[in-house]
Amino acid sequence: SNFMFPSHDTVYFYNQLSPAPTPTVPAANVISLFSDAYTNVPVDTWRTGWSQANFQDVTIAGNPTKKYSNLDFVGIETVRSQINATGMTHFHTDVYSADFTTFKIKLVDFGANAAFGGGDDVEHEITISNPAQNQWISLDIPLSSFTGLTTRAHIAQLIYVGAPTANNTVYIDNVYFHN
């Protein structure tokens, strides 16, 4: 009952993860948090202390990529250098997962006082139900879809949420605002 592989067989892995597509939006129209294609603005952290996820910087075929495993939610902050996206029309991110069933994106603006709390914070979360698996998905979401994000001059938090809760791995690349 022992099973042996003949010595001439080769095992091939067909689901090798390829890098995310390269963005084509002109750099003059972009505020980038993370992309090889653009100069990135300062980001305080790609995983806040209050996040429920593991985080790793990985390289896929020479392309730097963010990897979140055991993802429930992860907070990404630009508190020290808040993003003024008032002139932007879209939020973009490329995502890849073999196992998520729902993916959410929340943007938080700290308001005119540029501080958490204070009564002028606004936020909105977008839900992508049943996203395609095992392929890069380019999410290019009109900022007008973030209806609760009524101000955009002090964006300080980006939160990604994955389901099944704490049981999915998501790769992220090309995180930027553009017009």
For the chain, count helices (H), then strands (E).
Answer: 0, 9
CA angle 160, 135, 107 (to 5 degrees): 20
Indicate whether 6 pLDDT > 60: no
pLDDT, one tens digit per residue, over 27-36 is 999 999 999 9
The pLDDT-based confidence of 16 (bands split at 50, 70, 90) is confident
pLDDT, one tens digit per residue, over 60-101 is 999 999 999 999 999 999 999 999 999 999 999 999 999 999
Indicate whether 57 pLDDT > 90: yes
Indicate whether 136 pLDDT > 80: yes
The pLDDT of residue 11 is: 42
The pLDDT of residue 17 is: 87
With beta carbons less than 8 A apart as the criterion, state whether 35 and 175 touch.
yes
Percent of the chain at pLDDT > 90 equals 89
Helices (H), the chain: none
Q: Which residues of the chain form beta strands (DSSP E)?
A: 30-34, 52-60, 63-77, 90-96, 102-109, 122-129, 137-142, 155-163, 170-178
The pLDDT-based confidence of 5 (bands split at 50, 70, 90) is very low
* CA distances, 5 to each of 2, 9, 164 (Å): 10, 7, 36
3-state helix, strand, coil in the chain (%, to 5): 5, 45, 55
The pLDDT-based confidence of 135 (bands split at 50, 70, 90) is very high
Bridge partner list, 175: 34
Q: Which of 104, 106, 100 is nearest to 166 (CA)?
A: 100
Indicate whether 9 pLDDT > 50: no
Q: What is the mean pLDDT of residues 6-25?
A: 69
> Pairing between strand 30-34 and 170-178?
antiparallel
The DSSP secondary-structure symbol of 28 reads G
With beta carbons less than 8 A apart as the criterion, state whether 34 and 66 touch.
yes
Q: Which helix (H) or strand (E) holds 110?
A: none
Query: How much is the pTM?
Result: 0.90
Indicate whether 112 pLDDT > 80: yes
Structure tokens at 48: 């806040």
Indicate whether 3 pLDDT > 50: no
Indicate whether 21 pLDDT > 90: yes
